[in-house]
Structure 1
Amino acid sequence: MIRRRLCLGAAAIALTVPLAGCVTVHGERALIPSIRPAEAAKVLANFAAQNNKATKSYDEQAIAAIEAGPLGTIDQAGVRAKHANNPQGNADYSALKFSHAKFLIPEQRGWPKFFVAEAQTDRNGDSRWLLAFRRGGPDEPWMADFLGVATPDALPHFAVDKHGHAEALPLAGTDLQVQPGQLSAQYTDYLDSGKDDGKNGAGPAQVFTDGPATSGLKTSHEKSARTADTVTQYADQPDISGDFAPIALRTTDGGAIVFFGSRHQSRATFRAGYQLTLDKDTKALTSGTPKTSITLARVAQNMVAVPPRKAGAKVTFLSSLTGLVSAKGE
């Protein structure tokens, strides 16, 4: 049985108990904050320190120690490629710095638990980074599974209770326009077809607002599907397994911000005699020899605003960060 022990003392949460000493809180049953704010600040500071060390030296294993889910999958592949081309690391790397951080900490029962750190960085101008951290048990490390980047005016306000706790939403059974657990499938269905499939009262073509990650991406695929030199086929797959499981927090408008991942493949077949040119990082992630075709596998980490069902509005992408994770030549 997984249990968390809290010792009563000057810094402990006030509890009414008949005897002094320690009280056992069952983390798998009790409704408790996923983390304390001071601990969350330490998690973010450790993330910055370890991420900077790993990125400067292009150390894939160091990234794997602090990141998982879509974020970890993308960054591990990126660091692997950079290390292959620059085994000495990056001497010119500029350290990532966080400032003006705030923490969205829900009360949760059971495991895994999560929280979201929202902060400004020395990257991306005035945009805010939202890092979703999760851990599977009290003895496991906090891992950053998702990253979303958005300007402050694009972000809805998160709902908090009188104690300052955010509200976590489950993957199904919510009052949202699309269930958090269905977003990955709805999105990949939309990219593959855009046709109404009748699920959840609205097909994928009706679910999302137009933008770079939706209508813009479909248009780009349509234009590049057939050129004078190549024929490209696209395939998109949902993924909500394990540390790809979506994370959702209530917003003050009754909707939610949801983080979710998705997988995307493209297979380009070339005409006879065509000479394919690959950049160094893609070459480093490519197995086989691309004589007639190359298949690229990418992972996307998405942050969306989902309206309440009663609003009748569409899901809006706030951030979509995509990275190449592997390639195969044939």
Structure 2
Amino acid sequence: MTVHGERAVIPAARKADAAKALERFTDGYNTAYRKSDPAAAAEVETGALLAMEEPRVKAQRVNSPDGNPGFPPLELTDAQYTIPKQAGWPKFFVADTESNRNDFRWLLVFTRSRASDPWKVSYLSILSKDEVPAFRTDEDGWAEPVAAGSSSGLALAPGRLSSTYTGYLQTGRGGVFADGPATSGQRATRKKLLKTPQFWTDYRDQPAKPPQYAPVALRTEDGGALAFFAAHHAEQRTMAAGSRVGEVKDPTAKALMQGKPERALILSRVSESAARIPARGPVAVLNRLEGVTAARGK
């Protein structure tokens, strides 16, 4: 009997295939950084993670054309797989792992758009053990996805996370998000840099849209959800008369730089975040990672 993944509600992956996907990702990630090879990153990453990691690897190639043979290999162990039952494409699952980089849990979202595609990681979030929620599963252990376009009883629909978050960063209005480093902390840091005696800073934030940056979410036991989403950010720092930008210290920005940063520096970034969405109450952004994707000087 043929099962049609575009219509039937079936597990997104078999656990054995999920384990192979994690192994393939780890090998590709290590190859990319060991050889300074952006193509190797693109083989195992997609979406927000690739948008962040590919420029870093390109920058490493500029700074270390022969690669980095001493790159300490990433090791991901103690993997626990949360695999939803889904109809249609794309499909996804989450690997909750232990890393040799720190004492936190690394949550990787694997996705693919059709059965012939390899699994690639679209989101990475680094959470403490206490922050990783218990996911709702059925009697066979399969998880429940939450549709992006419907709130499904949540305080905020997963598909509205990026637009609501970027709107909040721009205006501070909305009252949807709990205070934290990724929310009120981001706005407080920006406020300090808006205007100083040496420079002023303009910020622009835009939602990251599907299909490249499709959000995903899984129902948790408490009726809420854990969601992963991305956003675009741009920052222009303009120097006051008589001041110059000075040395650009970020190695990725420095390697990607177009033009000479004398009077102004413009940086584009992509962020990826994990958020707990309750049935009622504020949304908590648990982890936010961001990377420079372009740099320009004027």
Q: Normalized against structure 1, the TM-score is what?
A: 0.87
For residues 263-302 of structure 1, the aligned pairs below 5 Å read 263-275=232-244, 276-279=246-249, 280-302=251-273
Aligned equivalent of 2:185 = 216
Is the 1:145–1:243 contact (alpha carbons within 8 Å) kept by the matching residues of 2? no
How far did 1:55 drift? 1.1
| Residue identity in the other structure for 2:276 | A
SS at match of 2:44: coil
SS at match of 1:278: coil
Aligned equivalent of 1:7 = none
Aligned equivalent of 1:261 = 230
Measure the CA separation in 2 of the matches of 1:255 and 1:172: 15
How far did 1:273 drift? 3.4
Measure the CA separation in 2 of the matches of 1:254 and 1:240: 26
1:68 equivalent in alignment to 2:46 = yes
1:191 to 159, 169, 189: 169
Aligned equivalent of 2:117 = 140
Is the 2:109–2:121 contact (alpha carbons within 8 Å) kept by the matching residues of 1? yes
Cα offsets for 1:243-295 (capped at 9, x unmatched): 30101000001000000000111101112332321124322111122232111
Aligned equivalent of 2:201 = 232
Cα offsets for 1:6-65 (capped at 9, x unmatched): xxxxxxxxxxxxxxxxx2111111111110000100000111111111111111011011
Number of aligned positions between the proteins: 295
1:243 equivalent in alignment to 2:221 = no
Aligned equivalent of 1:81 = 59
Measure the CA separation in 2 of the matches of 1:50 and 1:316: 32
How far did 1:92 drift? 2.1
| Residue identity in the other structure for 1:42 | K
Q: Which has the larger radius of gyration?
A: 1
The percentage of counterpart residues that share the same residue type is 40
For residues 131-210 of structure 1, the aligned pairs below 5 Å read 131-173=108-150, 174-195=152-173, 204=174, 206-210=175-179
SS at match of 2:20: helix
2:282 to 293, 306, 314: 314
Q: Point out where structure 2 has 5 or more consecutive residues left out of the alignment.
A: none
Measure the CA separation in 2 of the matches of 1:44 and 1:171: 25
Is the 1:300–1:323 contact (alpha carbons within 8 Å) kept by the matching residues of 2? yes
Instruction: Give the stretch that moved more between structures: 85-94 or 163-172.
Output: 85-94
Measure the CA separation in 2 of the matches of 1:88 and 1:327: 24
Q: Point out where structure 1 has 5 or more consecutive residues left out of the alignment.
A: 1-22, 196-203
Aligned equivalent of 2:35 = 57
SS at match of 1:96: coil
Measure the CA separation in 2 of the matches of 1:148 and 1:303: 6
Measure the CA separation in 1 of the matches of 2:70 and 2:196: 39
1:323 equivalent in alignment to 2:296 = no
Measure the CA separation in 2 of the matches of 1:281 and 1:183: 27
